[in-house]
Structure 1
Amino acid sequence: MSTPTIDRLEGSRRTARTEASSRQISRAEGWRRRGPLLPALIFTIIVTQLPFLLTIWYSLHSRNLLRPESDLFVGFSNYLDIARDSTFRQTAWNSVVITLGCVLVAMVLGIVLALLLDRPFFGRSVARTMLITPFLVMPVATSVLWAVALLNPTYGLFNWTLGLFGLEAVDWTSTYPVVSILMALVWQWTPFMMLLVLAGLQAQPKDVLEAASVDGAGTWLTFRLITLPHLRRYIELGVLLGIIYVVNTFDQIYLMTAGGPGTASANLPFYIYQRAFLGFDVGQAAAMGVVVVIATIIVASAALRLIFRSFEVKE
């Protein structure tokens, strides 16, 4: 074998050894960085994925707490039963109405309040603190406050205000149960939306606004063409987080209306609670829980894709 051929073979071997060594170093570096996160990952899997797998197992069985001996494998029978359940469809629609109604109204109010707080005025820090307070109140306290102090048909503040104008008192939680829940949720979640939008407003480049003002753009034109596109990712993030959290609303419904009248104001989490802890039907409740989780993952994945796409477009 000629000397040039031997040199090329030796060079190829050295290159291969160098690449293998680099891959080992890179792999070791990766494990060194990910190693401290492994306990958190293992803990997350234990407390989230294992219960979810157990829920799936329960959803495939006919299991009733009053009859433990009747635990039978029924396959997808529970899923077929809830597909034919008119109450499940009604509570699913209530979940959509309550979630979207709360998130959209809270976002609109949050944008308005953020625009007001972004302007300098006397007492702005006090006003900002007061507006943030509702988000810091526990949901149980919020529910009691709205059900007893504001919406009570006898001595609630709303009916007292109606009485000043000569109007009759309204039993809000019985006559307008969904609206009553929405008012309490919007009051609680508007500060969260306001904070997100306010962060976006304060991150907006001031030189762009000054240039628009010099060019003669009015307030509305500047907001529509410059400020609102800049706030898009903040608004999308607020809507996504709001949907994820509000769809799991339970406290307000349990304490304000108990899902009534009948199931007029019940959402999916409350109906699942009724099936599991009042009807003792663990199998169907587990199937409903699996359906809700899958639907939430689909919506969240689609929303995250939109948010990431907006980041890519801006970059």
Structure 2
Amino acid sequence: MATPADTRIAPHSGGDKVRPRTSALDDRLRAHRAAEKAEARRRRLPLLPALLFVIVCTQVPFLLTIWYSLRSRNLLRPEGDQFVGLRNFADLFVDSTFRTAAMNSVLITLGCVFVSVLLGLGLALLLDRRFVGRGLVRTLLITPFLIMPVAGAMLWSISMFNPSYGLVNWLIGLVGISPVDWTSQFPVFSIIVALVWQWTPFMMLLLLAGLQSQSKDVLEAASIDGAGAWKTFLFVTLPHLRFYLELSVLLGAIYVVNTFDHIYLMTAGGPGTASANLPFYIYQRAFLGFDIGQSAAMGVVTVIATIVIAMFALRLIFRSINSKEQS
């Protein structure tokens, strides 16, 4: 006959038997996590040299730029090198040339990206159809993007917009319009036209990839439901292209905002500084004015503004990806 002491010991002894099993399970989980972490480190190890290279080539110069932006440093007056804090940044916002360059950067970027996306969408819709010679036409349309920016800028400056023998003036002369010195009278417009010519093929390729990824069953279903070509494009194709459109705008804006070649070769920032954008104005202050402190401050402002815009655009893209996956 069991005593009360025996009945109290039984649950306790049973508990002793469970604890080793739980401890062994915890040990296996910890070992599994440790193995996963070791495997993750092993996979990342070959990428370490590339990561170090990127840090050395990008982050170290950026930190030095921040350091120079806090100093009054001019190569023509080395004795005046001193720490001035945020004075260089304060001087930027009272600099009318800097404001003009910033406005030109926004205007050139928005104008080029907007027109390039519209033209690229139209060309992508045409190339998405089957016709004889489509491969040849596609290759010819891609060609402007394959030309070096320097060569493209010289082509538009000399062969197209030259006031004496340019092709554009010859064409408008056929309808009785007097020759125009495009790069002097309309410098920003001339730069936007040259950039649109170069970047439209890139937009076309991205949007054409989006069109070709669209399911044909959806288009057939819309046709069966009685939707015409315009409604099918507006309510079926365009929502499908939202991710590709956002990606085109993001990549185009990041690249176009750093435009230097076309401005340097077509207008040299002129007349005066009327067509200078931020990268070109930074070049002028650093390599022509030798003002390292001011140019470094402008570089920091440009990088921060680009990062903010890119983060906002990436958030929109990731939001559209998540909504597409959920649907």
Category of TM-score, reference length = shorter chain: over 0.9
- Specify the SS of the correspondent of 2:145: helix
Task: Tell me the distance in 1 between the aligned counterparts of 2:70 and 2:230.
Answer: 56
CA offset digits 1:211-250 (Å, max 9, x no partner): 1112221110100000000000000000000000000000
Give the letter aligned to residue 20 of structure 2. E
**How far apart are residue 159 of structure 1 and its match?**
0.5
**How far apart are residue 8 of structure 1 and its match?**
2.8
What's the counterpart of residue 138 of structure 1?
148
Task: Tell me the distance in 2 between the aligned counterparts of 1:83 and 1:155.
Answer: 42
CA offset digits 1:75-130 (Å, max 9, x no partner): 10100110111111111000000000000000000000000011111111111000
Task: Tell me the distance in 1 between the aligned counterparts of 2:114 and 2:81.
Answer: 43
Give the letter aligned to residue 217 of structure 2. D
Task: Tell me the distance in 1 between the aligned counterparts of 2:28 and 2:217.
Answer: 51
Moved more, 111-120 or 18-27: 18-27
Q: Quick check: 1:282 aligned with 2:276? A: no
1:67-78 matched pairs, under 5 angstroms = 67-78=77-88
Task: Tell me the distance in 1 between the aligned counterparts of 2:166 and 2:189.
Answer: 16
Task: Tell me the distance in 2 between the aligned counterparts of 1:183 and 1:79.
Answer: 33
What's the counterpart of residue 171 of structure 2?
161
Task: Tell me the distance in 1 between the aligned counterparts of 2:18 and 2:87.
Answer: 68
CA offset digits 1:256-295 (Å, max 9, x no partner): 0000111111000000000000110000100000000000
1:52-67 matched pairs, under 5 angstroms = 52-67=62-77
Q: Which runs of 5+ in 1 are unaligned?
A: none
1:90-169 matched pairs, under 5 angstroms = 90-169=100-179
**How far apart are residue 39 of structure 1 and its match?**
1.1
- Specify the SS of the correspondent of 1:155: coil
- Specify the SS of the correspondent of 2:19: helix
What's the counterpart of residue 304 of structure 2?
294
Task: Tell me the distance in 1 between the aligned counterparts of 2:102 and 2:259.
Answer: 13
What's the counterpart of residue 14 of structure 2?
4
Task: Tell me the distance in 2 between the aligned counterparts of 1:260 and 1:221.
Answer: 46
Q: Quick check: 1:46 aligned with 2:56? A: yes
Task: Tell me the distance in 1 between the aligned counterparts of 2:52 and 2:19.
Answer: 46
Aligned partner of 1:227 among 237, 246, 249:
237
Task: Tell me the distance in 1 between the aligned counterparts of 2:87 and 2:17.
Answer: 70
- Specify the SS of the correspondent of 1:69: helix
Task: Tell me the distance in 2 between the aligned counterparts of 1:303 and 1:167.
Answer: 42
Give the letter aligned to residue 209 of structure 2. A
Aligned partner of 2:31 among 6, 14, 21:
21
**How far apart are residue 66 of structure 1 and its match?**
1.1
Task: Tell me the distance in 2 between the aligned counterparts of 1:215 and 1:76.
Answer: 63
Task: Tell me the distance in 1 between the aligned counterparts of 2:18 and 2:291.
Answer: 73
With normalisation by structure 1, the TM-score equals 0.98
**How far apart are residue 38 of structure 1 and its match?**
1.1
**How far apart are residue 33 of structure 1 and its match?**
1.4
CA offset digits 1:166-194 (Å, max 9, x no partner): 21000000000000000000000000000
Q: Which runs of 5+ in 2 are unaligned?
A: 1-8
User: Identity percentage over the alignment?
Assistant: 66
What's the counterpart of residue 185 of structure 1?
195
What's the counterpart of residue 5 of structure 2?
none
With normalisation by structure 2, the TM-score equals 0.95
**How far apart are residue 68 of structure 1 and its match?**
2.1
Aligned partner of 2:42 among 27, 32, 43:
32
Give the letter aligned to residue 257 of structure 1. T
- Specify the SS of the correspondent of 1:204: coil
RMSD over aligned CA atoms reads 1.0
What's the counterpart of residue 3 of structure 2?
none
CA offset digits 1:23-71 (Å, max 9, x no partner): 2111101111111111111111110000000000000111111122321
Task: Tell me the distance in 2 between the aligned counterparts of 1:233 and 1:20.
Answer: 41
